[in-house]
A and B are shown apart, each in its own frame.
Chain A
Amino acid sequence: MYIYKRLLKGALIAVGAFLIGACVQQGNMRKASSGGHPVLNPSEKMQPCYECHKDVTPDIYKKWFDSRHGIGQVRCFQCHGGYDDLKVVPDVSKCSVCHTKAMEHCSTKDNSCWTCHNAHEFKASN
C-alpha cells in the first residue's frame, strides 16, 4: 500500500518539478532562475507565460483559459508573478487585491483560497 502511495507521490513530484521547470535530469540539475523556472533568453521572456505553458502544462492552461480568470483576462503573472519574481504557489495577498470581501467571509481563515476553490479554475469545489 505504502509503495503505491510513494509511487503516486513520486509522480506528483515529477509533475511538480516539471511545472516549475526545476527538473533533475538523470542527476544533472538544469540551471534555473529564482522560483526554479528554466532560464529564458530575453526574447523568450517577452512571450506571455501561456505561450509555452499551453504546451508544457496543457491541463493547467485549459483550466485557466476556460475559467472566469481566463475569460476575464486575469493572466498567469497577475498571481504567480513574472519570470523574475515567480511564485509557483502565489501569496494569498495576491488574491486579496480583488477578493477581500470573499476573504472576510471565509471560514477557513488560516488556509489558502485554493483549499476550497481548485487552483486555476477557481470553481468552488464544495
Chain B
Amino acid sequence: MPIGGFVVSFLPDKAHEVIGSLRDIRGCEVHEAIEEKADSAVVVLEAKTSGDIEDMVEGIKAIDGVLSVDLAYLNIEDEIKENKNELQKLKRA
C-alpha cells in the first residue's frame, strides 16, 4: 500500500473547517501545525494504489478553503512488490 506525505495549504480563516474535513477522510492522517493561525498542515495519505491516492488528492483540493495540495514524500515500495507478484502469477499462469 502506497503512502504519501503532502502539504495542504488553506486560507487561515477556514483552518478549522478544513482540518475537520480532512479528518473525515478515510486513510488520511492529519498533522496540524503547532502555531496558531496556521495556513497549512501535513497530511499522510494511505490507499490501496497510487491511483487511489491521486483521487484522494483531488478530493482534498475540492474542500472549500483549500488552496493547494503538494506532494513531498511518497513510498510505493509495497505496490511495486505487489505488481511484481502479480506479474509472476500471470507468468506462471
Q: Interface of A with B (CB < 8 Å)?
A: 2, 5-6, 9-10, 13-14, 16-17, 20, 22, 24, 27, 29, 31-36, 39, 88
Chain A interface, DSSP helix/strand/loop, else mixed: helix
Given contacts A6-B9, A6-B39, contact A13 B76 (CB under 8 A): no
The answer to whether A16 touches B72 (Cβ under 8 A) is yes
Q: Determine the chain A residues whose CB is within 8 A of the CB of B9 once the complex forms.
A: 6, 9
Inter-chain CA distance A22–B67, complex, in Å, is 21
Residue B12 CB within 8 A of the other chain:
yes
Given contacts A6-B68, A9-B9, contact A36 B80 (CB under 8 A): no
Q: Determine the chain B residues whose CB is within 8 A of the CB of A16 once the complex forms.
A: 72
Q: Determine the chain B residues whose CB is within 8 A of the CB of A24 once the complex forms.
A: 70-71
Interface residues of B toward A: which range? Answer: 10 to 19
Within 8 A of A (CB), among B38-70: 39-40, 50, 54, 67-68, 70
Within 8 A of A (CB), among B61-91: 67-68, 70-77, 80
Inter-chain CA distance A80–B19, complex, in Å, is 32
The answer to whether A9 touches B40 (Cβ under 8 A) is yes
Listed by A's residue number, 15 A-B pairs whose Cβ atoms lie within 8 Å are A6-B9, A6-B68, A9-B7, A9-B40, A14-B70, A17-B71, A17-B72, A20-B73, A22-B71, A29-B50, A34-B77, A35-B75, A36-B75, A39-B80, A88-B73
> What is the distance, in angstroms, from B43's C-beta to the closest C-beta of chain A?
13
Residue of chain A at shortest CB distance from B73 = A36
Q: Determine the chain B residues whose CB is within 8 A of the CB of A33 once the complex forms.
A: 76-77, 80
> What is the distance, in angstroms, from B41's C-beta to the closest C-beta of chain A?
12
Inter-chain CA distance A88–B76, complex, in Å, is 15
The answer to whether A10 touches B68 (Cβ under 8 A) is yes
Which residue of B67, B71, B75 contacts A6 across the interface (Cβ within 8 Å)? Answer: B67
> What is the distance, in angstroms, from B6's C-beta to the closest C-beta of chain A?
9
Given contacts A9-B7, A9-B40, contact A29 B54 (CB under 8 A): yes
Identify the interface centre among A29, A31, A35, A39: most chain B CB within 10 Å of its CB: A29
List 14 other contacts, CB 8 Å, given A6-B68, A17-B72, A32-B75.
A2-B12, A9-B7, A9-B9, A10-B70, A13-B72, A20-B72, A22-B72, A22-B73, A29-B50, A32-B76, A34-B75, A34-B77, A36-B73, A36-B74
